[in-house]
Amino acid sequence: MSSASFLLALCGCNDQNVGVYNTPPSVTISNPLEGEVYAPGETIELEGVARDDQQDSETLTVTWTSSIDGELGTSVPDADGIVIFPVTELTGGTHAITLTAIDDGGESATDTITIEVGLGDDVVGAPSVVILGPVDGDTFTFNQVFTVVGAVTDDLTAYDLLQASIVSSYDGILWEGYPEANGAVSVDLTQLTPMTTHVISLTAVDDEGKVGSDEVSVYIDEDGRPTVAILSPGTGDTFWTTDLINLEAEVSDDIDDPQDLALAWSSDYDGTLWSGASDSSGTVSHAVSLTEGVHNVTLLAVDSETNEGSDSVSLTVIDPNNWDDDGDGQTENEGDCDDTDADIYTGNTEVCDEVDNDCDGDVNEDWWDGYEQNDDEYSYYDLGEVDDGFLWAGDTLTISGLTIHGPVEEDWFHSDVDDDWYDNAEFEIQVTGLPTAGNWTLELWDANGSTPSISDSDAGAGKLSVAFEGSLVDYDEDDWYIRVYANTWDPAACTATYKLYIDTNG
């Protein structure tokens, strides 16, 4: 046994327990030095060393970033781990330059230094910049509005030509613009990243590219607002105006119990929808119907310190009568009288069937005869006196081209047969030409009393007839109604015509 095997046997070890553990790379920025100042546009040689115990330096992923300008680029280390990255035209201000190296195992390391661009006494003729507020070291909450107030002057460049900006060392550019006519800058800021110290820089660049800047440090404390989360409905959801929409959300607060928060649901379209409180778990729900339109629905929560938190969703609400259900290109509000049938809409061609195809309120009106609309005993067509003779002279009347153009269509006529003390009512009525494809009824109505009643009727197809023979002693038998209608109707009746014939015998 070899000495190595003996030692392994002695300690009870074997090679199955031997592992390789990855460690992070090592990173150092060697140039520039902390706090160095550079003129605008000056080339800055960024240099550093990135090495790793488990892999060659050349295989590391190396990135340079700026707190103001973001990612600057990547470098490939040489065999000794040295990385060089020249950069120009950095934005004026205080930059936190970071070198990051990541190995194949995902382990990373960083190094950071701070430099200034366009600052210092060596930049002659640069704008003068002073931050008057906030004061260095001030603290604000996340939702608190604070104002950066500054004064900018320059010997040669007009105020409206000075390009100014406010930058956070953590959140980047917060504002860009120009000073006011007197050189003043006043910008409201809010909702910077909380639990963080921000170096706020006010920078001005004149028309020669010279940069002046001033900075203060402020701390942004944690968010003191209530937390609001709408659970339903979701953004983009669509509802009908007839729907009852359930608005549901959860609320909480660092200070107050959920049920003590003042809550209000609102729509930018319909206004306030509800106000009240949640239950003890922080759940709040309210059912509501909304008018047609696009709604931004918001739940606002206010705590006892007047901190406000909110959440919003965007909804679309549609009137069902503005929705084309049958795909015929027309909605009910646009005149579609049956939005379940694509063959029925305003302006459509009328078809001889049992429906109002063109939504004008009439059925098969293209096939009406010249006596329409005589569809009941109140809108009858008056034929006048058929027998206006003397002492049983008699008379006849024929009307042609009549149609029964629908299953509920009726033809009503009125006739005066001139029954007087010297002339008795005796007559026969016939209809001919009724289509054999249907079944029809001819009725004779006595209209001489207080209530009209059927005196005679006939049913069938082709030819139908009714008759009346009055009494010589009854002189009140003048007024009569004639009614023709379908028991079973066929569309062939639209183009078929029938004839009405009245014969008074004296």
**pLDDT tens-digit map of 370-393:** 998 888 888 999 988 876 554 345
What is the structure's pLDDT at 421?
A: 46
4 within a domain of the structure (yes/no): no
**pLDDT exceeds 60 at position 229:** yes
Mean pLDDT of the chain: 87
Q: Which domain holds residue 491?
A: 365-504
Please check whether residues 312 and 374 belong to one and the same domain: no
Per-residue pLDDT at 385: 83
**Is this model's pTM higher than 0.85 or not?**
no
238, part of any domain: yes
Which tokens is 257 given?
């119990």
pLDDT at 453: 92
Q: Say whether pLDDT at 437 is over 90.
A: no
Dist CA 347 CA 340 (whole Å): 16
Q: What is the amino acid identity at position 62?
A: V
Number of independent structural domains in the chain: 4
Same domain, 69 and 31: yes
* Residues across the chain: 506
CATH code for the domain of 415: 2.60.120.380
* Cβ contact 202:186 at 8 Å: no
Looking at the structure, do residues 457 and 480 belong to the same domain, yes or no? yes
> Measuring CA to CA, which residue among 150, 266, 163 is closest to residue 202?
150
The sign one gets for the Cα dihedral 321, 325, 326, 331 is positive
Pick the last residue of a domain from 63, 96, 117. Answer: 117
> What type of residue sits at position 120?
G
Instruction: Say if residue 32 is in the same domain as residue 106.
Output: yes
Residue 172 sits in a domain whose CATH number is: 2.60.40.10
Q: pLDDT band for 258, please (50, 70, 90 cuts).
A: very high
Nearest partner of 167 among 209, 131, 125, 208, judged by Cα: 131
Instruction: Decide if 352 is inside a domain.
Output: no
Query: Is 102 found in the same domain as 139?
Result: no
| Residue 485 confidence (pLDDT) | 95
Tell me, what's the pLDDT at 92? 76
Name the domain boundary from 194, 221, 248: 221
Domain boundary pick from 91, 117, 143:
117
Burial of 262 (0-12, 13-18, 19+ CB in 10 A): middle
Does a structural domain hold residue 422? yes
Two tokens at 324?
């084309």
Is residue 8 included in any domain, yes or no? no
Task: List, for residues 171-222, the tens digit of each pLDDT value.
Answer: 999 999 999 988 899 999 988 988 889 999 999 998 888 899 999 999 998 7
Name residues whose C-beta falls within 8 Å of residue 28's C-beta, 6 or more positions apart in sequence: 48, 49, 99, 111
Give me 91's structure tokens.
């934005």
Q: Are residues 232 and 308 in the same domain?
A: yes
Same domain, 432 and 453: yes
**Concatenated DSSP letters of 365-407:** GGG--TT-S--STTSPEEEEES---SSS--EEEEEEEE---ST
DSSP letter for 324, please: -
**Together in a domain, 61 and 104:** yes
Question: Is residue 252 one of the residues assigned to a domain?
Answer: yes
Say what the pLDDT of residue 390 is.
Answer: 45
